[in-house]
Amino acid sequence: MIQVGIIGGAGYTAGELIRLLIHHPKVNIDFVFSTSNAGNHVAEVHQDLVGENIKFSSEINLEVDVLFLCLGHGNSKAFLNKNEFSDNTKIIDLSNDFRLQKDEIFNGKAFVYGLPELNKDAIEKANYIANPGCFATAIQLALLPLAKSDLLKDDVHVNAVTGATGAGTSLSATTHFTWRDNNFSHYKAFTHQHLDEINQTVKNTQSDFKSDINFMPNRGNFSRGIFATLYTKFDDSLEDAKQLYSEFYNNAEFVVISEENIHLKQVVNTNNCILHLHKHKDKLLVTSIIDNLLKGASGQAVQNMNLMFGFAETEGLQLKANYF
């Protein structure tokens, strides 16, 4: 059994981590740290955990085997500057603090970008992981087979919708029920922060990629999930594309290529990414769906933990979608 610590225990990603880890056969939760909730039962915040006898802690064990950082963007670096963990403690950060190459070395710690379908071998040897963003995960998994074969020759156009949990637990004008209900909008058009890591991955995979990735993020009036559609010029046939994607993801535990049109309920509450391919004239359309809190955050973090400790990659992640 490995000992696990969670920092920033009151947020959505921490709640999902706890839900996954309490049933993980190789894990014991040592502490869930939250300054604002110390001493309270975790179920007072994460009400889906009622009956679980876990309390938020004000104490941090600097010797845990693995530490999950579920802090707001920009706060992980500050936290690690103030708290010096054992050299034996592996760290998985769920913020964007270490995802870019300019940030991957921090206080002597080398962070590996934690997209298993891209960096599995490096993750297995890593001590520090930068967990990818949710939009970034869905979009990169849709593009990687093309980039790996140097087939991205033109602009990529992306339209993706995320649920309300993607905005976190803090309330804002666009997260209230009265605003979200029966509503739809885009935000951060062409400038979303996940574009940096997406462009980094694509250009590292296909060095001659010089075109634009035009990303339109949207807010959906549902709680969780990401539905992304991407299209770009593709000269080969649909069958060629299907073979390319099937071969690329042949050994990927959580990526499925569907022959049928896909919809969001097929992935909610799972660590899966489902892809669907469609050819129209000289354009290839790729649809990519994930649960933003699982494959887009906490589930992928557990997947990375499994790889780092030599567990089965699917350990604790064999989840069924909430279809109805």
Exactly one of 134, 138, 195, 264 is catalytic; which is it? 134
126-to-108, 238, 311 alpha-carbon distances in Å: 13, 37, 14
Among 242, 284, 240, smallest CA distance to 259 is for 242
Quick one: tokens of 198?
A: 């997406």
Query: Is residue 80 a contact partner of residue 111, using CB atoms and an 8 Å limit?
Result: no
- Enumerate residues 6+ apart whose C-beta is below 8 A from 97: 73, 74, 75, 76, 77, 103, 106, 130
Pairing relationship of beta strands 105-106 and 109-113 according to DSSP bridges: antiparallel
Tabulate helix, strand, coil % of the chain (nearest 5): 30, 25, 45
Annotated active-site residue 273? The verdict is: no
* Number of residues that this document lists for the chain: 324
Give every CB contact of residue 207 below 8 A, 6+ residues apart in sequence.
none
DSSP state of 55: B
Q: How far apart are the first and last CA of the chain?
A: 35
Look at residue 116 and give its three-state secondary structure. helix
Please tell me the distance from the alpha carbon of residue 112 to that of residue 103, in angstroms, as a whole number: 10
Just list the catalytic residues. 134
